[in-house]
Structure 1
């Protein structure tokens, strides 16, 4: 089956975010990217994305509302024991997931994401059908889904499973009908398109700082104009969970501290109303200089609407610029500045840094980055509609998946082999004495991919094996993010990534038990791992099961 453009005339980009999810699309013919800005129950809010929220009634595992409607539903008195699921994307960050409680109502993370994507996708298809996409069948849509740069192969695979479960594509569709792309890489494609006015040239490097709700991802790309304008990743992307939800958490703490003597009488909904003011009005435009005000909701139940000690005057709460800086913004912004510093040192020199993502549009963050790095980096810029940079970039990627030519692997990858035993180095219990008298060492890590060495997009590692007909063979892939090359598959930091099953096709004229040569080809330069087997000149896909810890 060829995978030519004719099959997928429509490209749909989906940026599934911790706090908000967005969507954009384009037609292959004209490549103009269209944002979907209408979402159910939006009530005149102009924000072009919809909240990543699932509502489950009582302890049911059937989602009944999503997005804005889920939030509305949760405020009804009938929702007392119901579940509003939010920020669940963080469950796919293995560094955080281990400290999170199990999901409610017996849900698995794949189910939670699939429930949301299914409803989200139905709305998107409806919007597309209102426009020119009505001329196409849904089987002609290609999807590009964004994932954080720091996710493991397993987390990416979980996302793919959820997309299939949600019905975006069918289980047996060509796998390239759904493409995953890393979020900062998508943002880079958008900024590169937009930065023609900034005169970035061949060999110039620019950094993307994608500051979203849950995570901040950074990555540096170099522009390569040897054959058209392409991008090469020049530092391995690095990210951390220090996005704007962490500002919200600090703000909530500050409000609780201010109203601590009234806590028993203030209803939860009043706190939510104050938080909404912070999120919608204060957070994006706060500049670090001006004091900010929140008018108290009527439901506060306060005896008096004045209390100078906490800045409360006639029902207006004054938050000084100083306390907002110290208690709310600075601790989170500091983390972002440290990440930028770290990447700048690795990259050596940079021509530009682009701030994108919802938190990327924060005035305060921009000011701080400008002050800290303006003298060392020529250009600190926020592109237009920066909260849509990732989703628009995802569409550009679907239109031209080969625009990023080089990526930097975040792990050592390899398989388990036996090699010559080295006395005094290898542990005696790994010693194997073969029938022919040779002395081998078991559990050695045979490296396929060297961590942090640039990989070409078409990079393919091919290894030759044999199998006995008609048995399927399996091969286990290991990964490590250690500084040093691991010696054993049992070394600290090495984990099993996946088992690949190499199916044995029916071969004519081959006896049972006969040796069949095969080569396994692994592609590591793409966003997702791809493994194929070549048996007697024909290429076969493999099935892969990811290891669960």
Structure 2
């Protein structure tokens, strides 16, 4: 069944503090009729705790490539003695950040990143469906739902396409469904929609600008929006080119792990791995969210530490309790990561020039210490630095709002130059001699020129469409290669530094009556760059056709 947005009776969003998150994932949903956002709060194997998220963990028995447990159940399974040679897959979302993925080891058990995400989403979705059926009873019809998966705004087009591929493989939608049945929503955009709903309590009005700092487990994304009041209600206009990087709270965990290893360096050979992980769990669950940079923190050692003595003044251990001084935590764990986040905020603030508010959202965004440092750095320059109510759910709740009204954000700022490979007039002394082409008619052309479709940093309306006229010989398909660059200056050549191939878009030639083999067929290729996902269509003989997109491994 093909589902179009016009017949959606419900909207559902899959996401969490950072969408399908690096460390946790969650879900919210709404009926289109009343737009009330409802959180899924019950998750398997979480001791009946009502908690609106579940760990992003996959468990694979031994060398199997079939996931057997997920979420908190995966964590519990890994603690069993029989699971010593098994795999607990975590933080694998980072593999979709190309800058980090190059440094990461291959996934175990022959898994691909699409496999890992699809395995998790399939079981995650199955649980969500069961929760929905409890409320919808016989009226539940999965085909009447729109799904909204949130993704970091910093992700490349290839990473977004990988996420869509995994969602299809997980069975959320089928390849025959209307494309809009699954929407990919930018995480900071989703958070902005949530904060916009809370604007009344923050007293923001028409023309005011606010920054979203979406700090999650793996990534931190920032975008500045301006509020536009109009006849059709309040809209949001992106007004700076957003920025982000992988400096989320998992990097605090890595630094904490390093600090603990330094403190217990004389005992590392005897401390069981499970005991070490139990210490890390205490840090993640108790110390990390509440740390304010002032008070020392205390960590209760697990019983199975295998230490000769439970007191060691040299490392701050007394009667089985480890004292972590505020200074050590600041210097060794928090400050290096927090400074990366503050540098991103400062960069956006300089671009925006003036702001009325900075909202910290996401799981890391609710950190007391991050708030204190942001207030300290930017409180005098910005009228309001705030963490909205339930800031860790801002992204998932905002994603539901986006599914209900995809056109609240009217303008976006592209982060890349986009263009195609073309030939133009050769300029002596400017273009490289090896790019020179002399045609049969005597004209001198330059090959490998970057023909710009979209300018980096220049605002685009969500309906922005670039159309180019082409022709093909029936019945052959047409392939168009799209390039992108994140350079400051507009690139001149497709082979210039910083330019990379985004994808090949194949335009399938439909069966046309009355057209002979070898006959020239005119077609228009339309590219939409104002949406979260790049969309390409072809118009042939007055009919619009979708395209298939192929991403190279090195894009």
Normalised to the residue count of structure 1, the TM-score between the two structures is: 0.98
8 Å CA contact 2:360, 2:371 repeated in 1: yes
Does the 8 A contact of 1:10 with 1:133 survive in 2? Answer: no
Comparing 190-199 and 150-159, the one that deviates more: 190-199
Contact 2:114–2:162 (8 Å) recurs in 1: yes
Asked whether 1:6 is paired with 2:7, we answer yes
What is the deviation of 1:177?
Answer: 0.3
Q: How much does 1:44 deviate? A: 4.5
* Corresponding residue to 1:548 among 524, 542, 553: 553
Residue-by-residue CA offset, 1:360-392 (whole Å, 9 max, x unaligned): 111111111111111111111111111111111
**Runs (5+) with no aligned partner, structure 1:** none
Tell me which residue corresponds to 1:243.
248
- Quote the Cα distance in structure 1 between the aligned partners of 2:332 and 2:501: 42
Aligned to 2:377: 372
Equivalences, count: 549
In 1: Cα distance, 2:43 partner to 2:296 partner: 33
CA contact (8 A) 1:480 1:486 kept: yes
Structure 2 equivalent of residue 473 of structure 1: 478
| Cα displacement (A) at 1:426 | 1.5
Q: Is the 8 A contact 1:5 1:28 kept in 2?
A: no
- Match of 1:235, SS state, is coil
Question: d(CA) in 1 for partners of 2:124 and 2:239?
Answer: 35
TM-score by length of 2: 0.97
Shift in Å, 1:445: 0.9
Q: Which moved more, 1:121-130 or 1:511-520?
A: 511-520
Question: What residue is the counterpart of 1:175 in the other structure?
Answer: 179
**1:434 and 2:439 are equivalent in the alignment:** yes
Stretch moving more, 97-106 or 439-448:
439-448
CA deviation map 1:438-466 (0-9, x unaligned): 22111111100001101100000001111
Q: Residue 32 of structure 1: SS of its match in structure 2?
A: coil
What is the RMSD computed on CA atoms of the aligned residues? Answer: 1.3
The 10-residue stretch of structure 1 (256-265 or 209-218) with the greater mean CA deviation from structure 2: 256-265
Aligned to 1:493: 498
Supply the distance in 2 between the matched residues of 1:531 and 1:296 (Cα, whole angstroms). Answer: 56
Counterpart of 2:302 in structure 1 is: 297
Q: How does 1:502-517 map to 2 (within 5 A)?
A: 502-517=507-522
CA distance in structure 2 between the aligned counterparts of 1:8 and 1:424, rounded to whole angstroms: 62
Aligned-partner Cα distance in 2 for 1:265–1:108: 34
Conserved in 2, the CA contact under 8 Å of 1:13 and 1:392?
no
User: Is 1:353 equivalent to 2:358 in the alignment?
Assistant: yes
The correspondence of residues 290-369 of structure 1 with structure 2, limited to 5 A, is: 290-369=295-374
Q: How far apart are 1:127 and its partner, in Å?
A: 0.4
**1:390-432 per-position Cα deviation (integer Å, ceiling 9, x unaligned):** 1111100000000111111111111111111112211222222
Q: 1-side partners of 2:339 and 2:167: how far apart?
A: 35
Gaps of 5+ in 2: none
Report SS of the residue matched to 2:251: helix
Is it true that 1:447 corresponds to 2:447 in the alignment?
no
> For the residues of structure 2 that align with 1:513 and 1:265, how far apart are their CA atoms?
75
Matched residues in 2 for 1:255 and 1:517: separation?
66
Q: For 1:150-181, what per-residue CA distance to the aligned partner results, in whole angstroms no more than 9, with x for missing partners?
A: 11100000000000000000111001000001
The 1:103–1:492 alpha-carbon spacing in structure 2 relative to 1, beyond 3 Å, is same
- The reply on whether 1:211 has 2:212 as its aligned counterpart is no
